[in-house]
Amino acid sequence: MRRLRAWFLAPSWTVMLLLFLAPLAIILAYSFESRGTYGGISLPWTAESYQRLADPIYLAILWRSVWIAALSTLVCLLLGFPLALFISRSGNRKNLYLSLVILPFWTSFLIRTYAWMFLLRDTGLINTALEKLGLIHDPLPLLYNDGAVILGLVYSYLPFMVLPLYATLERLDRTLLEASADLGARPWATLAHITVPLCAPGIRAGAILVFIPCLGAYLTPDLLGGGKSVMIGNLIQNQFTTARDWPFGAAISLALMAMVMALLWLFARRTPEGLV
């Protein structure tokens, strides 16, 4: 029995070791080495990369990443909650709506982000349409700013908010909502005092699933934010490419990971049943 158990666990352990723990160990080693002249790494061992993390320039980028990710998560929640509520009460149309929510995953993330560029740029669909309608004379600055980045992140990660919210709303005991109305609560009071609090596990799960990828986002800020909107993901990418500072890139990566882990730990501590 125990041998069988070991055999069944072997594939996932192999994947974890080769594709996760080993690269992580390499990154950890890199982060304590010195920068090679033409990229790569060289000796001696040093903690200099970690000291550079405290530089105000990098702290500012980190802070930007955090608030852009947080704002995107909040917008996802505000859009996703009503949507999930609507789907959970749509009777036999639930499956149709749920498949519409995940429909965007059928095409490449890159293509979808480019599609947004075609929509938002100065000669894009939105600006052209508004100009043709005579509503504006000069194109609106829709692309290459923080707003475009947040829009792109919300668009990309909204399903990750909707699905866990839907799962908790679907499980919600309807008689609790009836009891609330029965005791005199109007629909908004029931929403605020019963539905939302009982949906907290779904909100937490959705928030984690959206916030973490947003924090490390690289493609969306690169394409929709232009050069101006640098997030921590772009900074890491830069270190491994143009800046040729692998040790520093490795150090930022690990710092980002440590931050995410700390955040998860905080969330898990506040949830009696652990992470959903």
Partner 1 sequence: MKSSPFVLELREVSKHYPTHRAVTKLDLEIARGEFFSLLGPSGCGKTTSLRLVAGFEEPTSGEILLNGASIQHLKPYQRNVSTVFQNYALFPHLTVRENIEFGLRRRPQNHIEKRVADVLDLVQLAGKEVRFPSQISGGERQRVALARSLVLTPDVLLLDEPLSALDPNLRKQVRAELKQIQRQVGITFLFVTHDQEEALSMSDRLGVMSGGELQQVGTPEEVYLRPRTRFVASFLGAVNWIDDVGVRPEATRIARAAPNSGIRSHPAKVAHSTFLGNCLHVEARLAGGQQVVAEVSRFIENFNPNESVFVWWRPEDELRFL
Q: How far is the CB of 171 from partner 1 (least distance, A)?
A: 12
Distance in angstroms (rounded) separating the CA atoms of residues 125 and 89: 35
Q: Does 186 bind partner 1 (CB under 8 A)?
A: yes
Q: Which is nearer to partner 1, 27 or 196 (CB)?
A: 196
Q: Contact between 198 and partner 1 (CB under 8 A)?
A: yes
Helix, strand, or coil here: 243? coil
Residue type, 181: A
Q: Which is nearer to partner 1, 79 or 185 (CB)?
A: 185
Contact 206, 79 (CB under 8 A): no
Residue 189 found at the interface with partner 1 (CB under 8 A):
yes
Of the residues 42, 60, 103, 178, which one makes contact with partner 1 according to CB under 8 A: 178
Span of 14-22, 180-188, 203-211, 235-243 interacting with partner 1 by CB under 8 A: 180-188
What is the C-alpha separation between 160 and 174, in angstroms, rounded? Answer: 24
With CB under 8 A as the contact rule, the residue among 16, 47, 176, 261 that binds partner 1 is 176
Q: Does 89 bind partner 1 (CB under 8 A)?
A: no
Please report whether residue 191 would count as binding partner 1 according to CB under 8 A: no
* CB closer to partner 1, 111 vs 183: 183
For partner 1, the closer of residues 191 and 259 by Cβ is 191
State the Cα–Cα distance between residues 233 and 42, nearest whole angstrom. Answer: 24
The one among 99, 193, 241, 262 contacting partner 1 by CB under 8 A: 193
Q: Are 128 and 118 contacting, i.e. CB atoms less than 8 angstroms apart?
A: no
β-strand pairing of 41-42 with 34-35: antiparallel
Whole-angstrom distance, CA of residue 229 vs CA of residue 217: 12
Q: Taking CB under 8 A as the rule, does residue 167 contact partner 1?
A: no
Please report whether residue 170 would count as binding partner 1 according to CB under 8 A.
Answer: no
User: DSSP letter string over 145-200?
Assistant: SHHHHHHHHHHHHHHHHHHHHHHHHHHS-HHHHHHHHHTT--HHHHIIIIIHHHTH
By the criterion CB under 8 A, which residues form the site for partner 1? 173, 175-176, 178-186, 189, 193-194, 197-198, 200
